[in-house]
């Protein structure tokens, strides 16, 4: 989970959209770092405007930005509280020709170096990249010099040209590097400075390159073994033009993107440059939150996928060599992120492996860093790790390194330079070296794991599991239930095993799940497989586990519910009556469930019910419950926020669990209607929850607070995101509509009902997602539209997609029963339940009276041992068939086992696992246990003992 670090600078550094770009002759404003303080809603509004919120240590109530002074003034005029980090630079700089050569820097740094430009002298003591005389050299010279010193270990690969014609260079380290084909061995790649201003990332990569070569003969380090079997690749700087541009003057120090002249005015201004890490092809332009179409935006994605030569060439290199792992180094936020990042809370098929290597909050692979899936709290699209993983099966990590802090030192104390903080890391060798040392072991882990990626090497002792089972407590299946496990592919074919009520073990085959309509497919080293468990009935307990390659998963047990009756529609009752929001005290049952069942019955639509509160506040999961239905009607009644009993702020983890389960259900073709005046309120307001479970006993998570960690807990709170409503339910925004009682709601074709609302205190007005994301550019959301207009308003009380409906009202707020019937009938028709019909037919049959009992031979009891007290047992099975309304199985008094005229002292005991039935039964097996006690002093006669027993199956009904 995300851990928040607060220091001199807190938050993401973003480039704010500005007014019109400067003319060719206009001077250009510099970028500065600022702290913005405001409400959650104000700060969250920055992301969809094109500001990159993926970097920097975010904290509730404040975030960091990179902006020009005029952009900061414009924000302040809108009510934002904005403060410069350090001194604000307001000097304007002459615009540079877009295609002109870059000038060598006029002042130097003790540690940091340009890639191809000539560095200026060190202000104090040189460190970092130096020549034999200890003088500063650029990074290219440093890499080339070390390569020349190790001709058999290093191959210099020019893999393309930058926009300005600079060589794009990678270095392959392995034994016989120049005589073996690229990609012939397992590989690992490290690269830095995709974003030009992130100098610390280039330094970490440089130090890794130096470490591998300096330890190439050091067996204790493990490097020689790695170089003998593995290709270790380094790219010093992915974005060379932009990186060298940051060394021009203080006005360019915080430049992020490439040097693309976006508006073709011949000069570089704040309207230029493309974010390389939004220009990759996977999910490019999926939306405007994970990347931006605004030229001035920090996350501007470019005009088309991989329009930037730096991106296209890198992709082609990776596709050619296909390393097993790689790290994309960035700054700053102290994070270890892994795919997927295009959607929140979406996990790749290889998540068990990625997660084990990255570590946990309590035991992270990089000390003080927070490991997590990329899309936990924000989304990106057109990004490198998703592209490499989803298109080539290459497992990558994004590491957000430490931010700058402290007093000016080295090059950061030169007059006119930016002070340390945020993206400007202090120019102190000891501090830079410390960042490298924190990251060294994880870098080595990936190199050592490339040969056996599904059984990785980890310095924190993490192990990738063989199985990750998708367990659930309840099944609504009528005798058949789908089950799923994510299993290591190397184990081979996976078999599902199960037992019903502790009976005989049964087996079934599995097949691979394809990922559904929108999610990614199974992994490279793992795969999701599914099988079917059958032969159970309501009331049964079913134990399930999986086997493959001689190994078994941990088992789980589900209870077969009698509430799953095979209807096409499920009513998901989520009134939260056992919670306290808005209830003053927990209630005893649902208030509005009968209203929904009545409307469905009136429409001729039978439905099953899952009442979350009655199910011990467990959500309706994908496999056990939702997968059995064609459509789900999820209603929330008067509920405001889903909170555990005793919880007063934030939301319950239950809320997020249910939201993600419904999203998973839609991904697999399910249809959903969500209804209620404050439906999904916690997600609209993006409240947080404790990821470890229920409150209490776990501590609460704050809502709209300056703190983001539960008291006494390492794992931080997680925010429920509004993406589900925007991208799955079709509602991009929601705003309050005044005077709900005076409004008329009118259905838009094909919806017909027109009605008023009663007892509705809040009426949300929805804006369809397609109005914010035009279908021509964003086809994934083209089906979003309004379904129910509000009189006197431009927003909608209902919106839809092809698979979903979202209503800002509930049936309980519609007084007319006929209107409720019409509403639910048209909703189910839209969702494909169109309609139910009831007919009768003269089809019948008869069953003759049947009473049948079969008995399998018993296993032997003996041999009996004289002088030893012991209870001997034997078993058999009785098969029962009865068409009667009741039946009873009995056994005559067993008496004593005999051997001729001699009898055992203790009587034989017979126990039946079941002896009575209240309805018809067919081929039910009853376990029969025979027990014989032999005491220590009981006399025994040589020979065989036996007894004939009489079993009787009887009934009082025909």
Q: How far apart are CA 521 and CA 339, in angstroms?
A: 13
Position 348 scores a pLDDT of 94
How large a percentage of the chain has pLDDT more than 90? 75
Minimum mean pLDDT range among 708-717, 732-741, 906-915, 923-932:
708-717
Rounded-to-integer distance, Cα 328 and Cα 193, Å: 9
What domain range includes position 910? Answer: 851-954
Please answer whether residues 619 and 654 qualify as being in contact, where contact means their C-beta atoms are separated by less than 8 angstroms: yes
Catalytic residue among 231, 308, 355, 400: 400
Q: Are residues 356 and 500 in the same domain?
A: no
Integer Cα distance of 354 and 393 in angstroms: 12
Mean pLDDT over residues 119-135, rounded? 96
Q: How confident is residue 71, by pLDDT bands cut at 50, 70 and 90?
A: confident
Residue 20 pLDDT level (bands cut at 50, 70, 90): very low
Same domain? For 434 and 499 the reply is no
Residue 783 lies in a domain: no
User: Are 231 and 133 in the same domain?
Assistant: yes
- 11 pLDDT exceeds 50? no
Q: Is residue 841 part of a domain?
A: no
Asked if 801 and 775 touch (Cβ cutoff 8 Å), the reply is: no
Model confidence at 58: pLDDT above 60: no
Residue 795 lies in a domain: no
C-alpha–C-alpha distance, residues 657 and 675, integer Å = 18
Asked if 355 is an active-site residue, the reply is no
> Residue 817 belongs to a domain with what CATH number?
3.40.50
Rg (CA), the chain: 34
pLDDT tens column, 226-236: 999 999 999 99
Please say if the pLDDT value at position 765 is more than 50: yes
The CA distance from 73 to 955, in Å, is: 90
DSSP string computed for 360-395: -SSSBSSTT-EEEETTSS---SS-HHHHHHHHH--E
Number of domains composing the chain = 4
Same domain, 247 and 367: yes
Residues 554, 575 within the same domain: no
* Domain stop point among 461, 495, 511: 461
Q: Check residue 702 and give its pLDDT.
A: 75
Q: How far, in Å, CA of 566 to CA of 517, rounded? A: 24
Task: Please indicate, yes or no, if residue 438 is contained in any of the structural domains.
Answer: yes
d(CA 447, CA 326): 9
What pLDDT score was predicted for residue 642?
95
Based on the fold, state whether residues 215 and 97 are members of the same structural domain: yes
pLDDT tens sequence across 355-382: 999 999 999 999 999 999 998 767 899 9
CA dihedral of 712, 716, 717, 721, whole degrees rounded to 10: 180
How many residues are recorded in the chain? 958
Same domain for 218 and 291? Answer: yes
CA–CA separation, 124 vs 799, rounded Å? 64
Buried b / exposed e over 151-166, threshold 16 CB at 10 Å, is eebbbbbebbebbbeb
Report if residue 764 sits inside a domain. Answer: no
301-340 confidence digits (pLDDT tens) = 999 999 999 999 999 999 999 999 999 999 988 999 999 9
Please check the confidence at residue 860 and state whether its pLDDT lies above 90: no
Residue 842: which pLDDT band, with cuts at 50, 70 and 90? low
Mean pLDDT score, 493-502: 98
Q: How do strand 474-475 and strand 556-560 relate by DSSP bridges? A: parallel
Q: Band of the pLDDT at 5, cuts 50, 70, 90?
A: very low
Residues 42 and 148 in one domain: yes
Pairing assessment for the beta strands 569-573 and 607-611 based on DSSP bridges: parallel
Q: Is the pLDDT confidence value at 1 over 60?
A: no
Q: What is the mean pLDDT of residues 220-248?
A: 97
Considering the domain boundaries, does residue 722 fall inside one? yes
Q: Which residue has the higher pLDDT, 43 or 422?
A: 422
β-strand pairing of 541-548 with 551-552: antiparallel
Arithmetic mean of pLDDT over the chain:
91
Last residue of a domain, one of 513, 537, 559: 559
Read off the pLDDT of residues 613-646 as tens digits, 9 standing for 90 and up.
Answer: 999 999 999 999 999 999 999 999 999 999 999 8
Least confident among 27-41, 201-215, 297-311: 27-41
89, part of any domain:
yes
Q: Of the given ranges (75-79, 299-303, 366-370, 945-949), which has the lowest mean pLDDT?
A: 75-79
Task: Using a pLDDT cut of 70, give the percent of the chain over it.
Answer: 93
State the Cα–Cα distance between residues 761 and 765, nearest whole angstrom. 13
pLDDT value at residue 24: 44
Tell me which of 496, 524, 559 is where a domain ends. 559
How far is Cα 939 from Cα 835, in angstroms, rounded to an integer? 77
Clarify whether residues 669 and 543 are in a common domain.
Answer: no
Are 250 and 89 contacting, i.e. CB atoms less than 8 angstroms apart? yes
CATH number at residue 50: 3.40.630.10
| Residue 708, token pair as written in the block | 């983001």
Tens digits of per-residue pLDDT, 532-567?
999 999 999 999 999 999 999 999 999 999 999 999
Residues 256 and 297 in one domain: yes
CATH assignment at residue 483:
2.60.40.10
Same domain, residue pair 550 and 410? no
Whole-prediction pTM value? Answer: 0.84
Is pLDDT above 50 for 6?
no
SS (H, E, C) 821-844: HHHHHHHHHHCCCCCCCCCCCCCC
Residue at 844 is within a domain: no
Same domain, 504 and 546: yes
User: What was the pLDDT predicted at 61?
Assistant: 62
């Amino acid at each position: 989970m995300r851990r928040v670090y607060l220091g001199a600078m807190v938050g993401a550094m973003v480039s704010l959209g500005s007014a019109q770009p400067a003319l060719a002759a206009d001077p250009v404003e510099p970028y500065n770092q600022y702290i913005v303080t405001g409400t959650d809603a104000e700060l969250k509004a920055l992301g969809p405007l094109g500001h990159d919120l993926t970097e920097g240590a975010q904290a509730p109530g404040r975030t960091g930005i990179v902006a020009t002074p005029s952009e900061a003034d414009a924000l302040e005029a809108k009510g934002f509280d904005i403060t410069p980090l350090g001194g604000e630079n307001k000097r304007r700089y002459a615009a540079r020709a877009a295609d002109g050569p870059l000038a060598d820097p006029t002042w130097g740094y003790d540690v940091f170096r340009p890639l191809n430009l000539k560095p200026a002298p060190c202000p104090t003591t040189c460190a970092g990249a130096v020549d034999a005389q200890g003088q500063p050299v650029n990074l290219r010279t440093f890499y080339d010099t070390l390569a020349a010193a190790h001709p058999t270990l290093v191959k210099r690969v020019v893999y393309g040209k930058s926009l300005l014609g600079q060589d794009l260079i990678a270095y392959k380290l392995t034994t016989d590097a120049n005589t073996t084909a690229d990609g012939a061995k397992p590989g690992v790649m490290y690269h830095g400075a995709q974003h030009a201003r992130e100098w610390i990332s280039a330094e970490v990569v440089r130090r890794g390159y130096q470490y591998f070569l300096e330890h190439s003969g050091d067996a204790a380090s493990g490097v020689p073994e790695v170089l003998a079997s593995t290709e270790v690749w380094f790219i010093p700087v992915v974005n060379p033009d932009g990186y060298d541009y940051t060394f021009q003057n203080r006005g360019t120090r915080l430049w992020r993107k490439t040097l693309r002249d976006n508006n073709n005015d011949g000069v570089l201004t704040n309207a230029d440059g493309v974010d390389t890490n939004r220009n990759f092809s996977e999910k490019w332009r999926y939306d405007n939150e994970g990347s931006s179409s605004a030229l001035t935006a920090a996350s501007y994605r470019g005009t088309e996928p991989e329009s930037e030569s730096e991106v296209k060439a890198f992709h082609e290199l990776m596709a050619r060599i296909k390393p097993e792992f790689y790290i994309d180094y960035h700054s700053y936020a102290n994070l270890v992120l892994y795919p997927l990042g295009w959607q929140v809370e979406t996990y790749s098929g290889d998540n068990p492996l990625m997660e084990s290597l990255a570590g946990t909050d309590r035991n992270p692979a990089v000390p003080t860093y927070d490991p997590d899936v990329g899309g936990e709290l924000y989304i990106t699209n057109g990004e490198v790790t998703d592209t490499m993983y989803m298109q080539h099966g290459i497992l990558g990590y994004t590491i957000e390194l430490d931010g700058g802090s402290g007093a000016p030192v080295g090059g950061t104390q030169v007059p006119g330079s930016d002070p340390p903080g945020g993206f400007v890391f202090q120019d102190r060798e000891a501090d830079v070296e410390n960042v490298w040392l924190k990251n060294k072991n994880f870098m080595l882990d990936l190199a050592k794991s490339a040969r056996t990626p599904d059984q990785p090497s980890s310095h924190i002792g993490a192990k990738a599991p063989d199985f990750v089972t998708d367990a659930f407590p309840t099944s609504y299946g009528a005798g058949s239930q789908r089950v799923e496990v994510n299993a290591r592919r190397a184990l081979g074919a996976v078999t599902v095993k199960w037992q019903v009520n502790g009976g005989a073990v049964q087996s079934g085959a599995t097949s691979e799940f394809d990922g559904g309509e929108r999610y990614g497919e199974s992994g490279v080293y793992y795969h999701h497989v599914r099988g079917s468990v059958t032969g159970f009935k309501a009331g049964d307990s079913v134990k399930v586990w999986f086997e493959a390659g001689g190994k078994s998963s941990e088992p789980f047990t589900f209870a077969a519910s009698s509430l799953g009756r095979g209807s096409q529609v499920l009513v998901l009752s989520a009134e939260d009556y056992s919670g306290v929001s808005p209830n003053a005290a927990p209630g005893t049952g649902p208030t509005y469930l009968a209203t929904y069942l009545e409307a469905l019955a009136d429409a001729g639509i039978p439905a099953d019910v899952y009442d979350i509160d009655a199910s011990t506040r467990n959500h309706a999961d994908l496999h056990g419950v939702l997968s059995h239905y064609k459509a789900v009607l999820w209603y929330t009644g008067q509920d405001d926020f889903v909170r555990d009993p005793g919880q007063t702020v934030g939301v319950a983890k239950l809320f997020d669990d249910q939201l993600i389960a419904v999203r998973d259900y839609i991904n697999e073709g399910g249809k959903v209607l969500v209804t209620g005046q404050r439906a999904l309120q916690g997600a609209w307001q993006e409240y947080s929850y404790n990821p470890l479970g229920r409150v209490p006993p776990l501590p609460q998570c704050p809502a709209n607070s300056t703190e983001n960690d539960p008291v006494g807990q390492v794992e931080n709170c997680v925010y429920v995101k509004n993406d589900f409503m925007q991208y799955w339910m079709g509602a991009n925004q929601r705003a309050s509509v005044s005077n709900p009682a005076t409004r008329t709601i009118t259905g838009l074709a094909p919806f017909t009902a027109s009605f008023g609302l009663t007892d509705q205190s809040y009426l949300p007005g929805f804006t369809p997602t397609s109005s914010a994301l035009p279908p021509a550019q964003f086809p994934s959301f083209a089906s979003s539209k309004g379904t129910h207009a509000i009189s006197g308003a431009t927003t909608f009380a209902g919106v839809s997609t092809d698979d979903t409906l979202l209503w800002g009202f509930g049936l309980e707020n519609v007084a007319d029963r006929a209107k409720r019937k019409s509403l639910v009938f048209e909703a189910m028709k839209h969702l494909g339940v169109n309609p139910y019909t009831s007919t009768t037919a003269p089809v019948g049959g008869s069953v003759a009276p049947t009473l049948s009992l079969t008995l399998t031979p018993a296993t032997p009891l003996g041999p009996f041992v004289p002088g030893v007290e012991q209870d001997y047992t034997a078993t058999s099975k009785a098969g029962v068939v009865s068409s009667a309304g009741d039946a009873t199985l009995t056994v005559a008094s067993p008496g004593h086992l005999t051997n001729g005229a001699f009898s055992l002292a203790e009587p034989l005991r017979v126990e039946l696992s079941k002896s009575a039935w209240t309805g018809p039964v067919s081929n039910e097996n009853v376990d029969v246990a025979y027990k014989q006690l032999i005491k220590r002093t009981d006399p025994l006669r040589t020979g065989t003992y036996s007894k004939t027993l009489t079993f009787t199956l009887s009934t009082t009904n025909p």
